[in-house]
Chain A
Amino acid sequence: MRWLFSCMLLALLGAVQALSSSGQRLLVILEDEAEREKYSVLLEDLSSRGFHTTVQSPKADKLSLFKHGARAYDHVILLPAKSKGLGPALTANQFLDFMNNEGNVIVALSSDHATPSSVQSLLLELDIHVPSDKGALVVDHFNYDSTSAADKHDVLLLPFPKAIRPDVKNYFAGEGLIAVPRAVGQTLGNESPLILPVLRAPSTAYSYNPKDEADVVEDPFATGEQLNIVSSLQAHNSARLTVVGSAELLQNKWFAEKATINGQAVKTANRDFVQKVTAWTFKETGVLKIGKLLHYNNERVSKKLNTSVAIPEHNPKIYRIKEDVAFQIEVSEYEIDHLAPFLPVENDALQLEFSMLSPFHRLNLTPLSQTANATIFGVSFRTPDQHGIFNFRINFRRPFLTNLDEKRQVTVRHFAHDEWPRSWQISGAWVWIGGIWVTVVAWVGFVALWLYSAPTTNSVKKTQ
């Protein structure tokens, strides 16, 4: 028995080690084995967080993102390669298939190498645009590291990004400055809500190609905050892709390098930033999970959500129109290695829709209480005065958070014949009820009269 117990304990430990919420098989695509040393700290950090790393060259024979039709890896880091083509195993379609199967991808670009054509068409497909010419990089004459790039101003020192909107949680906040050496800037299409900037260039930055003859910038790829150093995409299936404009940002050299900005000596905080970017992309942060969902008729007694998984959801299938209904739902957020109670940021709200084709109710859910790893949200409302097939629907889509779309179908019936108010309760009906009773009594009186009335004398006279 003891060995069995220790085996189980080991298995449990293994489960604790597996940190990402979507698997730990990580493929790092690196062309030059000699370059591996440059990324050793990043790779060590990842394996200490529970990822099983495989480093492969894009030219390796057996390299494939799929095995037997299923994903062979959960996450991919694509580091820049010298060759323009990445081979048949890493085409844009392969990457898109990989993401359609909920795989996560980090693409690192470098201005030293041309962006591989498969990566270019992948990013184009996603409406992320990178300069097409090799060597284009982002410079800023204001926020550069004067230790390493005193003349060329191509090593930017940027603060950690702020939240992109006041109602969006910032998963990339931190202290210090991030060194961004020789970055390839990206611009994002405006149409899609799925692509998001992670780290923007400062407003005075611009992208240019040092190989251009002109000694003045002409027709830059993009300027200012429209340039992104790190940008991301979260697909409808919550697969994530992050484009890191500067592969050097991920290298050991810049993880804690001494730098100077405007005469001030600083230490770069790339390690922290890279940890946050990889944690978000590989779904260690910003992952939501729905627990128990409860709805019930609130007319008589109110129930409390029983969070035990042992008890299945036991929700009514049918409600009546104009009935008081209460709704409760548990939502958790994955934080690095555990589920924690989820709370939306201040200006944001989790919303419940009670809908038939279109929502009849859309209500903000308020947090009622918390369990060890979930927040219980709830709201009470009255079913609309329209019968039909309705849905309780939680459709929670927010930047940087995985999509939640959960619905429970219920029937809303109209009043049964014996649920209406009785006629004597309706004051307008009293006249008619009175009429009926007058008729009843008059009829009984008429019958009695017809049966028992004796002829009167004057009527006898008349007949005579």
Chain B
Amino acid sequence: MRFFRSLVPSLLVSSAAIVSAASSWSFEDAAVTVSSKGAGVGAGAKDKLSATSPLSKSVSLGATDTLKLQLTAVDGKKATRPHQAFLTLTDPATGVEESFLLNVKESGKGSLNLAHKDLPHQFLTSSKPLPASIVIGSFGSSTAYKAKVFDLNVARDPDAPLAVPEKPLRYAAEKEIHHIFRDDPRSPPKFITLIFTAAVAAALPGLFIVWATLGANANHLSKALGNAPISHAIFFGSILALEGIFFLYYTTWNLFQTLPAATVVGLVAFISGSRALSEVQERRLAGLR
């Protein structure tokens, strides 16, 4: 209720003004000064501010600089102390807003000092100039004032480290991930493969030719078949059949189909082979080998 007590006289004073025409808040004699550390008082660029149009050039604030804003708040024509006198900075990229309070005296004269340490990190890292607005308002019927007065260019020392807090978690769609597959195994060029395959295949006729030149022949075939026709036919047949079983195992059969077949054929080869090889021994003993 103290507020009321303080308000009532001011209301009484200003009631006449309310009835005639609502006045509006504004400011006069405003100036912004940027002074760097070490420079004397009064040094640094001073720019006069106008309540109706923003400053044409932007104000630059270096890392060691201090910005000083001075103004006189007026209600209509009369210098008065407003309840609210803010300098509001906005980061156009992130929408972050921060208001700095002007220290206003009874006479309506207000001032504000601003340095890098007062600014949140969004302002320090902003690449665009920050629009600075002055807000002056108070209770009663006078229209409050808000307008952009200058652009603040925060020049940061690029070498100085800046403690930017880690971005807090916000729920949103995350980046898509597509699994990167390992490369498929690759074969050498077919041309090279075919050359080497041909070389390997050529080894077979090569072998037969060498055997033939050394006098290899099948002259005893009829003699062998004559002496032991069944065992020779079955023995040679079972060796071919064993190769056939290996071929089937390679293409379609599994181990459980292969093993019984191989056992049977192996047994046949063992029995017929002993007979066939006895015949070969007889030939050797007869001096024919």
Contacts and interface: CB of A to CB of B under 8 A. Distances in A.
Interface of A: 139, 141-142, 146, 150-153, 165, 167, 190-193, 203-204, 206, 208, 210-213, 215-220, 223-226, 322, 347-349, 351, 353-354, 359-364, 382, 384-385, 397-399, 426-431, 434-435, 438, 440-442, 444-445, 447-449, 451-456, 458-459
Contact of A152 (B85, B139, B236): B139
B137 to A, nearest CB: 3
Contacts of A444: 239-240, 243
Nearest to A321: B181
Contacts of A347: 173
A364 B201 contact: no
Interface stretch (B42-50, B61-69, B219-227): B219-227
Interface of B: 1-3, 6-7, 11, 81-86, 88, 90, 97-99, 101, 104, 135, 137-141, 144, 146, 168-179, 181-182, 187-188, 190, 193-194, 196-197, 200-201, 203-204, 207-208, 211, 215-221, 224, 232, 236, 239-240, 243, 246, 276, 280, 288-289
B140 A453 contact: no
B88 A453 contact: no
Given A211-B1, A430-B193, A456-B217, 13 more contacts: A141-B144, A146-B141, A167-B172, A203-B90, A212-B3, A215-B6, A217-B83, A217-B101, A348-B173, A354-B179, A361-B178, A449-B211, A452-B218
Given A364-B176, A459-B215, A216 B88 contact: no
Contacts of B2: 210-211, 213
B218 A449 contact: yes
B99 A223 contact: yes
B289 A220 contact: no
A444 B204 CA distance: 12
Contacts of A354: 179
Chain B residues touching A, majority SS? mixed
Contact of B171 (A193, A211, A212): A193
Contacts of B187: 426-429
A454 B217 contact: yes
A216 B232 CA distance: 123
A126 to B, nearest CB: 15
A153 B175 contact: no
B204 A438 contact: yes
Contacts of A204: 84, 86, 88, 135, 137, 144, 146
Contact of A442 (B204, B216, B289): B204
A452 B139 contact: no
Interface centre among A153, A165, A167, A208 (most CB of B within 10 A): A153
B176 A348 contact: no
Contacts of A226: 97
B253 to A, nearest CB: 12
12 contacts: A167-B173, A193-B168, A204-B144, A206-B84, A211-B2, A219-B101, A223-B99, A347-B173, A427-B188, A435-B200, A440-B246, A444-B239
B20 to A, nearest CB: 16
A141 B138 contact: yes
Contacts of B146: 142, 204
A428 B193 contact: yes
B9 to A, nearest CB: 11
A220 B177 contact: no
A191 B168 contact: yes
B99 A224 contact: yes
Nearest to B3: A210
Contacts of B289: 454-455
Contacts of B217: 453-454, 456
Contact of B224 (A219, A399, A429, A452): A452
Contacts of B246: 440
Contacts of A455: 288-289
A421 B218 CA distance: 42
Contacts of A351: 173-174, 176
Contacts of B188: 427-428
Contacts of B172: 165, 167, 348, 398
A100 to B, nearest CB: 20
Name the 10 nearest CB pairs between A and B, nearest first.
Answer: A141-B137, A456-B215, A428-B187, A454-B219, A141-B144, A210-B3, A362-B177, A223-B99, A384-B179, A397-B171
B236 A448 contact: yes
Contact of B181 (A206, A385, A459): A385
B282 to A, nearest CB: 13
B197 A216 contact: no
A191 B169 CA distance: 7
B214 to A, nearest CB: 8
A258 B178 CA distance: 57
Contact of A431 (B97, B137, B197): B197
A438 B198 CA distance: 11
A216 B144 CA distance: 15
Given A190-B168, A215-B81, A451-B280, A322 B208 contact: no
A453 B201 contact: no
A398 to B, nearest CB: 5
Contacts of B182: 385
A435 B204 CA distance: 9
Given A206-B84, A220-B101, A211 B3 contact: yes
Contacts of B97: 203, 224-226
Contacts of A208: 83
A74 B203 CA distance: 88
B173 A434 contact: no
A190 B45 CA distance: 38
Nearest to B232: A451
A193 to B, nearest CB: 5
Contacts of B176: 351, 362-364
A398 B201 CA distance: 68
A151 B139 contact: yes
Nearest to A421: B185
A438 B201 contact: yes
Contacts of A359: 177
A427 B193 contact: yes
Contact of B276 (A139, A218, A353, A451): A451
Most-contacted residue by chain B among A150, A211, A224 (CB, 10 A): A224
Given A428-B187, A438-B203, A349 B173 contact: yes
A451 B224 contact: yes
Contacts of A447: 236, 239
B200 A434 contact: yes
Contacts of A139: 139
A398 B240 CA distance: 73
Nearest to B140: A151
A331 B179 CA distance: 26
